[in-house]
């Protein structure tokens, strides 16, 4: 069977649904993206764009005056790449967010982060993604608004994003996830592990925004590793 030029295909060993394929194809046709620049996590209809694709979408679908993304550090001890994204809005307001990737992490497309270069690339993509999210940019919503001739009004929501990330930390670490926090709310294992990574601190509320991103990235890596082993 001949594949059309813009038909999305599965990445790695992951399978995608018809709805995901149709959505990816829509973006490919509208913005001249490649199918391998768009992935999905499970059955989610929230596309995961690579760095270049997301940069194109931010340029076409927003009027953000300034976006800067760069590597902050590669931590050999933690085998972790940390990148940052600074988004500058009209009026001079800025948001600085962080993206983290750990070597050994299994990604949404079921490929494994096995090199420093790949960890850095993924961390940069994640930093850009969360930076744009923090100022209210949703690629799917912006795409739909563009088709209707409308422009999305970007509003900063850094505090709300931090709250969502901390909530996800508790879900992953909780009894339905890694069980570092048990059904009886025993936080001993959770606090021990958190303190090991973050100089004795025992609560995500004591972490700054970069550290919240790092901790969430670590837990996501552990969770994907457990799912892969299972």
pLDDT of residue 124: 95
pLDDT digits (tens, 9 = 90+) for 44-98: 899 999 999 999 999 999 888 899 999 999 988 889 999 999 998 776 778 889 9
pLDDT of residue 151: 63
Pairwise CA distance, residues 218 & 5, whole Å: 37
Is residue 201 within 8 Å of residue 207, measured between CB atoms? yes
pTM of the model: 0.63
pLDDT of residue 23: 94
Pairwise CA distance, residues 74 & 81, whole Å: 4
3-state secondary structure of 199: coil
pLDDT of residue 92: 72
Encoding tokens for residue 179?
């069980």
pLDDT averaged over 10-residue windows placed end to end, the chain, 230 residues? 37 73 94 93 90 93 90 90 90 83 90 93 94 88 84 57 87 93 93 93 88 90 82
The rounded mean pLDDT for the chain is 85
């Amino acid at each position: 069977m001949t594949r059309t030029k813009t038909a999305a295909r599965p990445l790695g060993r992951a399978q995608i649904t018809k709805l995901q394929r149709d959505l990816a194809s829509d973006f490919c046709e509208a913005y001249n993206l490649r199918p391998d620049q768009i992935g999905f996590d499970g059955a989610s209809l929230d596309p995961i764009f690579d760095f270049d694709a997301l940069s194109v979408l931010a340029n076409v679908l927003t009027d953000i005056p300034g976006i800067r993304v760069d590597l902050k550090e590669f931590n050999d001890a933690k085998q972790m790449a940390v990148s940052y994204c600074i988004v500058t809005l009209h009026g001079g307001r800025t948001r600085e967010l962080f993206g983290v990737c750990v070597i050994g992490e299994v990604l949404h497309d079921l490929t494994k982060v096995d090199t420093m270069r790949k960890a850095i690339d993924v961390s940069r993509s994640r930093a850009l993604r969360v930076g744009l999210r923090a100022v209210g940019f949703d690629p799917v919503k912006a795409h739909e608004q563009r088709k209707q001739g409308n422009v999305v009004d970007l509003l900063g929501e850094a505090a709300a994003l931090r709250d969502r990330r901390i909530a996800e930390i508790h879900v992953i670490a909780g009894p339905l996830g890694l069980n570092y926090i048990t059904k009886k709310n025993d936080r001993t294992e959770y606090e021990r592990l958190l303190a090991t990574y973050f100089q004795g601190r025992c609560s995500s509320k004591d972490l700054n925004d970069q550290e919240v991103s790092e901790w969430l990235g670590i837990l996501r890596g552990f969770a994907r590793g457990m799912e892969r082993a299972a």
